[in-house]
Structure 1
Amino acid sequence: MTDGPSYGFDTLQIHAGARPDPATGARQTPIYQTTAFVFRDAEHAAALFNLQEVGYIYSRLTNPTVSVLQERIATLEGGVGAVCCSSGHAAQIMALFPLMGPGKNVVVSTRLYGGTVTQFSHTIKRFGWSATFVDFDDLDAVKAAIDDNTRAVFCESIANPGGYITDLPAIAKIADAAGIPLIVDNTSATPYLCRPIEHGATLVVHSLTKYLTGNGTVTGGAVVDSGKFDWSANDKFPSLAAPEPAYHGLKFHETFGPLAFTFHGIAVGLRDLGMTLNPQAAHYTLLGTETLSLRMQKHVENAMEVATWLEKHPAVEAVTYAGLPSSPYNKRVKSICPKGAGALFTVALKGGYNACIKLVDSLEIFSHVANLGDARSLVIHSASTTHRQLTKEQQVAAGAAPNVVRFSIGIEDAADLIADLDQALARASA
């Protein structure tokens, strides 16, 4: 199909990037389970390797099934291109890879998934990179954290685990003034609830593992390029603006324009890092995207109903769901996430750490897993699991204090979820 402004989200989530298979006429995108692709002739092969022609070489770089998914995600996010990879964590490294270098830093929100905090606190140091953690509600602190060596600003649209909503336009304004890109993790919101590029984001990253796939079957990641950043405006981004030795001095931004980051992500990032998404996983995610809007509507409806009930429960100290009128982030829902505040939030229990453990062990419908965004309702005690590697101060800053449990509300009957929580809270507070 020809993607265009005349098509709505529900149409694009099914059709964007997909066309009947030219060989067989298959309507569903086939799984191209192949390692390599035959060249037409020597001249064709040379053109592909020189980046003079777009096509398929080797599935570490490009694959027809993955290409459909990349085009679909880019379209839904309003970007010019996307690169899919093996996980959300891989997507974060893929996003930073062309921007960073030894001695460079990224300014990041304190409200992030615990694994991301660990990745940015420890792992990236092995590349000679560093991260400065800042409360993104304090705009002056964000400005002050940016220095001459800062190469990006990173946050989540709806932060995991607390469901906090970031003031994306305000943060984008700060990044723009500093001449650096804003990278937004849009996993918890999905492009159905929030389109960060419309709020000034340069790049959007996803863990496809979560809502975009929606069925808990595969891991995957994506980096979406807005195509709006001028990589040649200064000398901060030589990987994109300066001659690339591996391609005989080719300059990605000069050659590919708005698609410079996307082409670099494939031709250099996937080539050298090898964080490839396999075609089977891409297929499952494509199936998931076809029902994204339907699922997200139900996720949001259930989350609102469950959070409202929990807020009134005597065993509950606080609920962080931004959809609640009591949330300090509620005022941002209409502008940042107009279709709803997502389905992820935390609950603080008056009984503390032990009550959280009892609650998790007593739930029957909710699955106790280290995941979110499934059709099933999920629960986890972050302080003892996903955020266990962090200090207590970091846990509190991330919204994962010891007396807090995280809920990912699924698409079951809300009444059944509330009944399950009722009996579990009774046991937890006994």
Structure 2
Amino acid sequence: MQKTKWCWIGLFVAIHLSYYASALRTDHLLWFFPWDAIQTEKTMDYSQIPHAVLEWRQGGNLCGPFTMSADYPLVRGNVYHPVFTLLVGLPLQGLSIPTGFAVVTLVKLFITSLLFVDLYRRAGQSRRFVLVAFVWWVFFVQGVEIGSGQYHFFLNTSLYLFLLGIVEERSETWLAGWLLASLLVKPIALLWVPLLMLRGKIRVAVAATLAFVALTGIGCLFQGGSQYLEMMVRFARLPTDAPAFHREMVFNLQAVVLHLGGGDAAAVFLKYGVGLGLLVLFFVPRISLFCGLVLATCYYLLFYSGVFEYHYTTLIPFLVLGLLTQRDWRHPFAIACIVGACLPSPYFLFKQLGLFALQPEMAEWLQGIDPQRVVTAPGLFLLLVVRVLPAMFLALFLIARALDQAGKGTSFEDAESTGPWLTV
């Protein structure tokens, strides 16, 4: 039994290593994703932070649009928090862009491996640990995050360590520290603040939020740092029909509604209606803190107008710790949703069969991009559905289970594990 478990884990690790091989050498994952999911111009996303620090050191802005040209692939500007930009960018200044990309990529692998060893030490005897290892290593859109040199990995790491503190009831200092770290990477955990306060984590929520505000204020003192606040507001106000330059690559429920012909009004009504419903659920005692955090994160994935496919890696910390600590996550329906979230979209089948590809005579504007890497409707709709539905159904399942238990009058402890880690 133990040997079989390690054989499975070895296979999952090998699959994960193939993501790094693609990022650093082979590019084979491009075959699995539509145009621009993984940039063919390597280091484009990675280079924004080192380049932002370079511009700032030469008198330019730390955040916002770039003004200096570069001899390496570069996005339009730096969207990250000024403090996070300096913490990451300054140590990378002595490295070339390709070398820095490789170093950061290998750092991701090292942290992933280190945290997995720690997780095995804590819960390796769980009967579900093979499934946990599958989620940890195989979750397929990790290949997009790794291959594009994104910094989203550091958000996921911070959220994992925060959630680990929740399930193990660690100190408020631990919780506030990792919550703050996640906010400095991307401030999506601001959605968690009302729930944290309602579940007795007032000092954690207040400390992390005030520290984030203070560090943002300090960041605004650097030249161009104030543009980070402007970008936060602009991203929060992205229209339901996202800008044309990334419309085809947005993976949220609103995109599904629009593809079904629901219109902007229906998508906006759904977004704010569900948001209000989520806030009401926060007041339901049966919605545990862990469950509420999952629901808030799913809301972000399903309704933020700038969600790309790699954003779904944010689910990994929840899926891993949910399987190990929450009894409801052992239900076959929940497991089906989890496995579905980990799998690749059917795009690679579309490509192999020649389905839903843009016709060559219509592809002049692509400027040399392979027309087969641009998916047209209904192929795009199918990709959206495959990525969106597992998160949506898992959220609905958790709500239904919690409310059903509330109706039966069962105690809170009956729905959760009696200890941090389930062994059966």
TM range (shorter): under 0.3
TM-score (norm 2): 0.28
Pick 1 or 2: higher relative contact order, CA cutoff 8 A, min separation 6: 2
Q: Structure 1 or 2: larger helix share?
A: 2
Q: As a proportion of its length, which structure holds more strand?
A: 1
